[in-house]
Amino acid sequence: MTSNNNRRIGSFGLAALWLLLPAMTYADFTPSAWKYRKRLPVDSTKPITAVHVDRQVFAKAAPGLADLRIIHGSEEVPYILNRLSASHELREIETEVLDKGATPAGLQFILALNAVERHSRVTLKTPESNFRRRVMVEASSDRKSWAVIRKEAFIFDFTHEGQHSSILSIEYPVSTQPFLRVTVEGWQDPASLTGASVSLAEDRPPVRQVIQSFKAPKGVAEPQTKSMLYTLDFGEVGIPKDLLRFEVLSAQPALFHRAVEVESSGDGKNWAPHDRGVIFRVPGEESLFVNIADTGTRYLRVRLFHGDDRPLPIDTITAESVLRRLIFPTASAGDYWLYYGNPDASRPSYDLPMVLARSSIESAAAIGANVEEANPGYKPPPEPEKPFSDRNPALLYGGLILAVLIIGYMTIRFIQKASAEASK
């Protein structure tokens, strides 16, 4: 029931969005203050659209993308800046416990979901303590034919010297079957189970975009630190990067474990420690990337330590960043433009994040922005008026000369007066 209500509310919110759109816009946009723009090839039959923020926008927009504006005709269109970072979803699903009873295999019960939902975890409630029990989970669409989705899992509860720990949840592959049958080995008393719940527990990896690849980077040997130093110039400030991926030229050495240090700089001269990590290839496993703190500095310097081993033959170093998208409603046909390049603009505040359903964000139609162009209506801001002294240097210097003459005259008069008094 709750799930269906949520879907109806989400649908209503999406339909009502078009009625709210005029009230959600904010008339602080002055086209002449924005230097660049890109046309957005919107399909007006799609209610919600998502456009990726690309390198050009990062390089020329204000820090933090505060100056991004989407314009349709003469109206400002609200948007959500959506960062596709890693996420963990845990959502409870309404269930009903059925047919609880003892079997030769153990205590068995059925969980019925009230609607077709994705689910991946069942959690038991019990008054029992100090136990360890094997659990099997099966799924069915009709309560007649059952398929095992988790053959062997364990739940436990343990208390020792005042320290209590327990795990009462069983994970299984994501399923949409409306019925689950759970068997707890060793339990026979139905009172051992006082309740159970089903949820969706899902980890989503981040969605990334390649920012820049440095093919055959030239390394500089540092004998004193037994390392190789690679300097990466991204050409512009503001390009985000939060991961460095390494490609080793060959399979030799077959196995390695190397420390990595990363420094950052705005000018390529003054460097500050930024982050560190490890890349390795060991039997059965390898990791050739380093997560770093998100930065928009122009330069990174990567120090790859090799100790007394040979330096790794690095073929490519690739910088990546979590993908950013602009999610916005596309209620009518016509040109949509993305404007940026106004360092004085403040970050906009819209109602859209509060009224747009999450399902609408996830189903947004993805597009790519067109080629960057100069805003034809852009007018550079007037140069600040120079101080009076800068506009009238002759008066300044004349005043200084006059002040020196007056001070000199007064000094001479003081000396003459002092000499006259001393001769009396």
Is the torsion defined by CA of 213, 217, 222, 223 positive or negative? positive
d(CA 91, CA 70): 33
Cα atoms found within 13 Å of the Cα of residue 406, Cβ hemisphere only: 6
Q: Judge whether residue 177 has pLDDT over 80.
A: yes
**89-204 and 208-322 in the same fold:** yes
Contact 141, 178 (CB under 8 A): yes
Burial class (CB in 10 A: 0-12, 13-18, 19+), 311: middle
Q: Render 392-417 in DSSP notation, one character per residue.
A: -HHHHHHHHHHHHHHHHHHHHHHHHH
Beta bridge partners of 169: 123
Domain ranges within the chain, ordered by starting residue: 2-84+324-374, 89-204, 208-322, 393-422
Per CATH, the number for 208-322 is: 2.60.120.260
- Residue carrying the six token digits 């980077």: 217
Report residue 170 as tokens.
Answer: 């069983």
Task: Summarize pLDDT for 314-355 with one digit per residue, the tens.
Answer: 999 999 999 999 999 997 888 999 999 999 999 999 999 888
Calculate the alpha carbon distances from 188 to 70, 83, 109, 158, 296 in Å.
Answer: 63, 49, 11, 20, 61
- pLDDT-above-90 percentage for the chain: 65
Contact 244, 292 (CB under 8 A): yes
Task: Summarize pLDDT for 79-121 with one digit per residue, the tens.
Answer: 999 999 888 878 888 899 999 999 999 999 999 998 778 899 9
pLDDT higher at 334 or 308: 308
Bridging pattern class, strands 227-233 and 299-305: antiparallel
The mean of the pLDDT values for the chain is 88
Task: Summarize pLDDT for 36-94 with one digit per residue, the tens.
Answer: 999 999 988 899 999 999 999 999 999 899 999 999 988 999 999 999 988 887 888 88
Report residue 199 as tokens.
Answer: 């949820």
The answer to whether the pTM exceeds 0.75 is no
Per CATH, the number for 89-204 is: 2.60.120.260
Q: Judge whether residue 239 has pLDDT over 90.
A: yes
Cα atoms found within 13 Å of the Cα of residue 40, Cβ hemisphere only: 31
Contact 339, 375 (CB under 8 A): yes
Q: Which of 30, 72, 34, 36 is nearest to 370 (CA)?
A: 36
